[in-house]
Structure 1
Amino acid sequence: MSKLDENERWKSKMLLTEHAERYDDQHHPHESKIITTEELTMLRDYILLPHMMTMVQKSLADVEYSTNILKRSYYMAGRYVLDSITKDLYRLRRELKQRNIKIVNEEQADLVVYYRYYCRGYEERFGMTRDVMRSEISLRLTKYTAELGALLKEHSREAK
């Protein structure tokens, strides 16, 4: 019990709504009804990762049937990237579920692909153009490849 609770003057004071909302946002950030920028990024990644998995799986199938002498190396690198994407997608699904965000379906209008999602009881639409999807996928694949390259460099230093 604080000193203010004992003071009768504080019982008649009102709390402004905006102050209460700010307090709630600071102390319970995941309970707000509006989706945050971080959560929009998570939505984008959740949408892109399955497309990336499909692309890498197709590439692995192509490598598997090729006659290239580095076929095994390419296949192992592809498997590493595919495993990384799978782990990220699993983590993302779990995080979205904890935040009570659910992606339902996809619809396409003109050059934009829309995804309907539910965020803590509210229904919204999230749209991306195909060009944005391509560039984001390219950036993410570059990141995964860079991770693999750093891992190989680290391993070669340890081997020496």
Structure 2
Amino acid sequence: MSKLEGNERWKSKMLLTEHQEQYDDRKTIKKTGQPTPDELTMIRDYVLLPHMMTIVQKSIDDIGRSPNTLKRLYSATAQVILNRLSKDSLDLRRELSRRNIRIMSDEQVDLIVYHRFICRGYEDRLGIVREVMRAEINVRLARYIVEIGELIQGNPQKDDRKSTV
């Protein structure tokens, strides 16, 4: 018989169900190592950023070969975007490493690109449809372009953009 069994005060202690659910969710995530929704977003960003960098680099190369008189401006702007993408990619890589998440090779089946990842011992794969990937890249590049446009115009907003980290 423990000291608490005879104590009637312990019978009245209650735990709200929402708190119990939060505790159970936290415990199962730690046990299984499954990624949180934020971590899945980070994994998706990690997959998208190299594609975005390739697109911007191709644009820089194309601009360099064009006879356009403003090609220096376009090239410099694209280079700033490429530098930001590189910085975001490096920050994201560091954060994933800090959280013990590794992303492995990719494979394409039909129109879906799969990336294997290991998150604290939990192994799974993330699949992204190519069309969704293309649309997401366009949206993200548009955000970067708007930011650079605001800087050029002299209207820098507070850094309100959603961080990838």
Whether TM-score is above 0.5 comes out as yes
| Identity over aligned pairs, percent | 46
CA contact (8 A) 1:25 1:32 kept: no
For residue 105 of structure 2, give the secondary structure of its aligned residue in structure 1. Answer: strand
Separation in 1, partners of 2:98, 2:62? 37
State the partner residue of 1:86: 86
Q: CA deviation at 1:71?
A: 0.4
CA contact (8 A) 1:101 1:120 kept: yes
Separation in 1, partners of 2:66, 2:31? 51
Structure 1 residues without counterparts, runs of 5 or longer: 1-6
Q: What TM-score, normalized by structure 1, do the two folds share?
A: 0.80
> RMSD of the TM alignment (CA)?
2.9
Q: CA deviation at 1:24?
A: 8.2
In proportion to residue count, which structure has more helix? 1
Q: What TM-score, normalized by structure 2, do the two folds share?
A: 0.78
- Bigger RCO (CA 8 Å, 6+ sep): 2
| CA gap 1:155/1:143 in 2 versus in 1, 3 angstroms | closer
Q: CA deviation at 1:23?
A: 7.2
Structure 2 residues without counterparts, runs of 5 or longer: 157-165
CA contact (8 A) 1:113 1:128 kept: yes
CA contact (8 A) 2:48 2:137 kept: yes
State the partner residue of 1:112: 112
Separation in 2, partners of 1:24, 1:37? 13
Q: Are 1:61 and 2:52 an aligned pair?
A: no
Regions of 4+ moved over 4 Å: 18-21, 29-32
CA contact (8 A) 1:30 1:99 kept: no
Alignment of 1:66-145 (within 5 A): 66-145=66-145
Aligned pair count reads 144
